[in-house]
Structure 1
Amino acid sequence: MSTALIILAAGKGTRMNSDLPKVLHPIAQASMLEHAMAAGRALNPEHTIIVAGHGADAVRAEVEKIDETAQVVMQEEQLGTAHAVDQAREALSSFKGDAVILYGDTPFLQAETLEHMVDARAKADLVVLGFEAADPGRYGRLIMDGDSLEKIVEYKDASEDQRAIRFCNSGLMACDAAVMFDLLSKVENKNASGEYYLTDLVELARAQGLSVTAVSCDETETLGVNSRADLAAAEAVFQARARADLLEMGVTMMAPETVFLAFDTVIGRDTVIEPNVVFGPDVTVESGALIRAFSHLEGCHVSRGAKVGPYARLRPGAELAENTHIGNFVEIKNAEIAAGAKVNHLSYIGDASVGEATNIGAGTITCNYDGFMKHRTEIGPRAFIGSNTLLVAPVTVGRDAMTASGTVVTKNVEAEALALSRVPQTNKPGRAAKLMDMLRAKKARLTKGAK
């Protein structure tokens, strides 16, 4: 059976107190909308429809970044959840298959849960996702009769017995698309809010003799985000789960609560991560690496046996081969560091390649930007780059070559050559004492004048 996703992302999120649409706020450095779309991809949907409203241009830009095949439709007026889903009617007018309704501010939904919902469609015309709430609060209650969902009762309309029910409505549904749009056309807004509610589909379906059921998931999967406090709580939930997964897979974290992971971080077993390390998006660390304290990694690949940090920064395009050393206060960007190479102290290597077993001395900088264009530096294997070398790209340093400390390299250095560009040192006897006396006198005059 083909599947279409309808993801509701039109809400402003007033309680977020933000110019950014609610669904674009990040958890683990990916927007909540990206989390929802990622979960939905497990169903291999034929169509993905995002219903946007507030901040639609920003939502559309995010959708295009995530999945160019997804389609954004507009809900010009926010008239309720049923009205929002109905905005996908035209986009799915010729679609034959199931529609699955998700929410862009529910980021923790698991692929297995969506598959469970779709599987349940084999036995029911309409499937609702529910959860057992530790504190049901003001959630809508799912009233079951065996496997049959009789109705959804909102808290304000529930009896005392119904309020005691802990099986609650998540808002997610799965239904044949044609049946769903037929039901939506019958939803009315005769309620205190004057809105069209998606929950009305249950009673409408039963009135037509259709079968309705509910499947259950863990409560954490339905965690919605409506405020900054909710966002912080959701971040904590994600991080705790991701850290636990890594520990289970054989990664050592000395202080797990201080390590922050992105939504797509991949780390191999027997890697050791010291305290206060932050992983941005698109990071892969192979087995047996060491990531030392206070390092920041994003968009990079770290191979087996590599050592990074402390206080290192790996930026997008950093590729570290096996047994490389990237030390304290070193920044690597868009550069390949070959096996056994070392960049151990206070250096910037950008838009470059560093050959096997090469040593980069402290304070080395690849001068890669001329104000308009980026240029590359190529350093061959077993080269020795002296401390405080400036490599003015584009430039090449050959295999087994050396640069003297303090050298400014502006032209290629051939293999096995020594590059030396320091200005000859000149010592002026007694000049320092005279200069000091002159400066002291000047300071005294300025101090007296200020009084």
Structure 2
Amino acid sequence: MSVPEFNALVLAAGQGTRMKSSLPKVLHEAAGKTLVEHVLAALEPLSPARTVVVVGHGAAAVKESLAGRPVEFALQEQQLGTGHALMTTAALLEPLDAPLLVLAADGPLITSMTLAGLLASRAGSRPGMSVLTAIVDDPTGLGRIVRRADGRIAAIVEHKDADAAQREIREINTGILAFDKSAYDFGRELRSDNAAGEYYITDLVESYLAAGLEVDAVVADDPQEALAVNDRAQLAVVTRVLLDRSRRARMLAGVTMLAPETTFVDDTVSLGRDVIIEPGVILRGATSVEDGCRIGAYSVLDDCRVSAGTRVAAHTVASGQHI
């Protein structure tokens, strides 16, 4: 997938208190991968020149989970907001000329295609800042896109700071933004005089506009891509979406699922052609099922290899086996 050269910044420092967990939020799993792994997987086909992950809460665990990946890390010792997170990466990314793509590690539904569209939109007009937005039914808790009379973006207002009229707006900020290198200059001027007492990266909209620079918006075709995980209920929602996507893609690639809604296959699982999966099957981890196999109902296979043409009996439970 060809896009203009860019650098990526993934925000993964938050504690995620609403998860009520000792595990950092971005390390919770959905469909067999951690949240941050899903985001990095969306970036991978776009080949960013450099990818920096901002870590904070549970930094050691997050860094360990991503060991061996082509990423760098910046430490946000105090979580003072997304604008503050941006500035922790200045030493690594500010000297570079390529545009900067910023996205949150708790948004696992974003796709490579949508990211490519946002980056490609910058190729002609070269705006100072680009915002990926979405139109949603319930914008509660999300930053609202405030537009001028001519339709251009005037501001992004966080829910806590929005007035009654602004809270009626259904176009929201997905948290995915692209900037030119001026972001760091403007970032040094950010202030924390808001309801949360944080430095908002979204306040850069006003900085760019005040400097006479363009701020563009790209509306996501699928508002589901804007879904982020803040609690276990939202984790279940994004997991369901990921599983639905995976089931459809696998069936279109030649796999038969007799009852797709009861079949749970991790993103990390490999399935060959003409595989038939009976109801209630769970396939996890590094499981590989070769061509022409049939997996019996209610089987659970974890890190297993199933040779071509094998018929796995119903209710089989196996881990780390060659079947």
Q: What is the TM-score normalised by the length of structure 1?
A: 0.66
| Equivalence map 1:92-171=2 (5 Å) | 92-122=93-123, 123=125, 124-145=127-148, 148-171=152-175
Which of 187, 190, 198 aligns to 1:187? It is 190
How many residues are paired up? Answer: 316
Q: Which residue of 1 aligns with 2:204?
A: 201
SS of the aligned residue for 2:147 comes to strand
1:148–1:211 Cα contact (<8 Å) kept: no
SS of the aligned residue for 1:108 comes to coil
Which of 236, 255, 263 aligns to 1:251? It is 255
Tell me which amino acid in the other structure corresponds to 2:236. A
| Equivalence map 1:265-304=2 (5 Å) | 265-304=269-308
How far does residue 155 in structure 1 lie from its aligned partner after superposition?
3.5
1:2–1:96 Cα contact (<8 Å) kept: no
Cα distance change, pair 156–296 in 1 and its aligned pair in 2 (3 A):
closer
SS of the aligned residue for 1:263 comes to coil
CA distance in 1 between counterparts of 2:116 and 2:310 reads 39
Tell me which amino acid in the other structure corresponds to 2:81. G
**Using CA pairs below 8 Å that are at least 6 residues apart, which structure has the higher relative contact order?**
2
What's the C-alpha RMSD, in Å, of the aligned pairs?
A: 2.0
How far does residue 95 in structure 1 lie from its aligned partner after superposition?
2.2
Which of 7, 11, 33 aligns to 1:8? It is 11
Which of 28, 32, 56 aligns to 2:31? It is 28
Alpha-carbon deviations, 1:145-164, whole Å to 9, x = none? 55632211233544555433
Alpha-carbon deviations, 1:86-131, whole Å to 9, x = none? 1111122432201111111111110001101111222222111110
CA distance in 2 between counterparts of 1:162 and 1:54 reads 32
How far does residue 223 in structure 1 lie from its aligned partner after superposition?
1.0
Tell me which amino acid in the other structure corresponds to 1:55. G
Tell me which amino acid in the other structure corresponds to 1:232. A
Greater Cα shift, 140-149 or 42-51:
140-149
CA distance in 2 between counterparts of 1:18 and 1:141 reads 29
SS of the aligned residue for 2:314 comes to coil
Cα distance change, pair 224–271 in 1 and its aligned pair in 2 (3 A):
same
Tell me which amino acid in the other structure corresponds to 1:270. D
Alpha-carbon deviations, 1:318-354, whole Å to 9, x = none? xxxxxxxxxxxxxx25xxx7xxxxxxxxxxxxxxxxx
Alpha-carbon deviations, 1:41-76, whole Å to 9, x = none? 1220111111111111101101115x0x31111101
Residues 1:262 and 2:263 are matched in the alignment: no
Cα distance change, pair 157–83 in 1 and its aligned pair in 2 (3 A):
closer
Cα distance change, pair 289–220 in 1 and its aligned pair in 2 (3 A):
same
Residues 1:60 and 2:63 are matched in the alignment: yes
SS of the aligned residue for 2:173 comes to strand
1:147–1:214 Cα contact (<8 Å) kept: no
| Equivalence map 1:300-319=2 (5 Å) | 300-316=304-320
2:147–2:153 Cα contact (<8 Å) kept: yes
CA distance in 2 between counterparts of 1:261 and 1:171 reads 29
Greater Cα shift, 269-278 or 158-167:
158-167
CA distance in 2 between counterparts of 1:158 and 1:76 reads 28
CA distance in 1 between counterparts of 2:152 and 2:286 reads 44
Q: How many percent identity over aligned positions?
A: 40
Cα distance change, pair 10–30 in 1 and its aligned pair in 2 (3 A):
same
SS of the aligned residue for 1:129 comes to strand
Cα distance change, pair 250–147 in 1 and its aligned pair in 2 (3 A):
farther
CA distance in 2 between counterparts of 1:265 and 1:230 reads 23
2:32–2:268 Cα contact (<8 Å) kept: no
CA distance in 2 between counterparts of 1:42 and 1:144 reads 32
Q: Which residue of 2 aligns with 1:76?
A: 77
Q: What is the TM-score normalised by the length of structure 2?
A: 0.91
1:140–1:153 Cα contact (<8 Å) kept: yes
SS of the aligned residue for 2:60 comes to helix
Structure 1's unaligned 5+ residue stretches are 317-331, 338-451
1:294–1:309 Cα contact (<8 Å) kept: no
Q: Which has the larger radius of gyration?
A: 1
SS of the aligned residue for 1:82 comes to helix
Tell me which amino acid in the other structure corresponds to 1:242. S
* Structure (1 or 2) with the greater helix fraction: 2
2:160–2:195 Cα contact (<8 Å) kept: no
Q: Which residue of 1 aligns with 2:53?
A: 50
Cα distance change, pair 13–161 in 1 and its aligned pair in 2 (3 A):
closer
CA distance in 1 between counterparts of 2:63 and 2:254 reads 39
CA distance in 1 between counterparts of 2:138 and 2:202 reads 21
1:147–1:213 Cα contact (<8 Å) kept: no
